[in-house]
Amino acid sequence: MLWKTADFAGWGRALTARCDVARPERRRALEAILADGLVPAMGMRRSYGDAALNSGGRAIEMTRLDRLIGFDPVTGELEAEAGVQIGHLAAIFAPRGWLPPVMPGTGFATIGGCIAQDVHGKNHHHAGSFCQHVTSIRLRTAAGEVEVTPEGTPELFRATAGGLGQTGVILSAKLRLMPAKGDVMIVTERRIEGWDEHVAMLDASQASYTVGWIDATATGSALGRGILEEGETGSGLVPGRAKFRKVPFDAPRFALSAPVVRAFNQLYWRRVPENGRTVVKPIGDFFFPLDKIHDWNRLYGKGGFHQFQCVVPLAAVGELRGMLEAIAGSGLASPLAVLKRMGQGRAGHLSFPMEGYTLAVDFANREEARALVARLIGRTKDAGGRVYFAKDSLARAEDIAEMYPELNDWRAAAAEADPQGALVTDIVRRLNLRGAA
């Protein structure tokens, strides 16, 4: 297997790395690579920061190891290689009455990546995190290939779920798919006037899938206004098919200037009638709305962008409002901002979710935005919340221990699975995650 030197970036394009990469197409080729020792694995690199980067080292791109191994149509249990994309699973199985139980905001995320980040979706308040539906993981550790299960190897499972690939190379996994009525979504959209209403509507929602778009530029009495989307699977309906577009060049800085973003958000908010509406959408349009705009990250220009995503406990909802006030007052936010209610579900020591509210906001990569995000991270820590490793590019090592109280348990398990530290990547170095247990 030939190693090729290449430049890589996280999806936010603000953090980059040069490393040697191999792209095996068969398990035999992968085993030949790992015969000389462990190497970090990466998928489609849809984490926004440096979670998939390994500056000056090596990495294995797993995207060609994307085979479906087996499926039980009675139980819905699927076995798939780590490189399978979650959007492909949705497209294949929704017409058969099944969906991946948890789907992040992009269908390009791989099974291996979903495990490494223990991703959550629009149904976290009901379904929990991705790895809570994983029944088995085939993992290549320093000691060899092992089967990791929640019952048989609970500590290794908790260290692998959301563990950023630091316990071994994820080869394949078994997960329980969720029954679905069909391959379309019936979506109810409601216009939300302000913060208190937004939070109350999220709390009251009984829909299977719920998400709030929030206007992160609105201030005063309009603070927190947005659109609440509630979705259920359906069948027998034919929605309009999305047109796929591509961003052909890096946008100029003025494209996301404060006046432009405010005007866009105003129009976007008003697209939903005052009395709301119900629409039918293809599965992908609801779960992965930005995937139809290829290379949409280029809208932020050559410098890229940072996303701040936090979750805070239910009792800290007032502090989250204060963070939104700071964001709206800064004039730095992009149109892409999301508010969700989360449940208790999490599967790993470093899994992001907690019961509370999660806010995600994108910022073009500028000095004033980086300073704002640093303040927001500090406020998150003070509120008893945490930041999401899949989105983070600016947190510091000293921020993490209080956010993730099981860090030392994870460190011990990662050290046992990878005693030489061969799997350490840029995010692990930046946050000193593998420091002494």
Task: Check pLDDT > 80 for residue 1.
Answer: no
Does a structural domain hold residue 410? no
In terms of domains, do 188 and 334 share one? yes
Closest CA to 119 of 54, 179, 47: 47
Both structure tokens of 143: 């000691």
pLDDT at 241: 60
What band does 249 get if pLDDT is binned at 50, 70 and 90? Answer: confident
Among 55, 15, 45, CA closest to 295: 45
**Same domain assignment for residues 109 and 28:** no
Q: Which two tokens stand for residue 186?
A: 């019936």
424 lies in some domain: no
Dist CA 353 CA 254 (whole Å): 35
Residues comprising the chain, all counted = 437
**DSSP 8-state secondary structure symbol assigned to residue 401:** H
What domain range includes position 156? 68-180
pLDDT band, very low/low/confident/very high, at 218 (cuts 50, 70, 90): very high
Residue 115 and residue 232 in one domain: no
Do 272 and 375 lie in one domain? The reply is: yes
**Residue pair 95/74 in contact by the 8 Å Cβ criterion:** no
Please count the CA atoms within 13 angstroms of the CA of 257 that sit on its side-chain side.
6
What's the pLDDT at 236?
75
Give the Cα separation of 121 and 342 in Å (integer). Answer: 9
In a domain, 408, yes or no: no
Domain co-membership, 274 together with 174: no
**233 and 173 co-located in one domain:** no
For 251, the token pair is 């946008």
User: Is there a single domain that holds both residue 14 and residue 37?
Assistant: yes
pLDDT of residue 237 exceeding 80 = no
Pair of tokens at residue 260 = 């432009």
Evaluate whether residue 343 is within a structural domain. Answer: yes
CA angle 12, 293, 25 (to 5 degrees): 70
Q: Do 130 and 188 lie in a common domain? A: no
21 shares its domain with 129? no
On the question of pLDDT at 437 being above 60, the answer is no
In a shared domain, residues 208 and 300: yes
pLDDT tens column, 335-364: 999 999 999 999 999 999 999 999 999 999
Distance of CA 277 to the CA centre of its chain: 28
Beta-strand pair 209-214/226-234: antiparallel
Last residue of a domain, one of 43, 61, 79: 61
Q: How far apart are CA 99 and CA 84, in angstroms?
A: 14
Query: Does 428 map to a domain?
Result: no
pLDDT of 64-119, one tens digit each? 999 999 999 999 999 999 999 999 999 999 999 999 999 999 999 999 999 999 99
| CATH number for position 313 | 3.40.462.10
Angle at 292 between CA 287 and CA 298, to 5 degrees: 115
* CA dihedral sign of residues 231, 237, 240, 244: positive
- Confirm if 63 and 23 have CB atoms less than 8 A apart: yes
- Residue 48: pLDDT over 70: yes
Residue 95, token pair as written in the block = 């017409």
Whether residues 31 and 91 fall in one domain = no
Model-level pTM?
0.96
Tokens matching residue 240:
């309009």
Q: Is residue 430 part of a domain?
A: no
For the chain, the domain total comes to 3
Task: Quote helix, strand, coil % in the chain, to nearest 5.
Answer: 30, 25, 40
**Model pLDDT for residues 200-213, shown as the tens digit of each residue:** 999 999 999 999 99
Average pLDDT score, the chain: 95
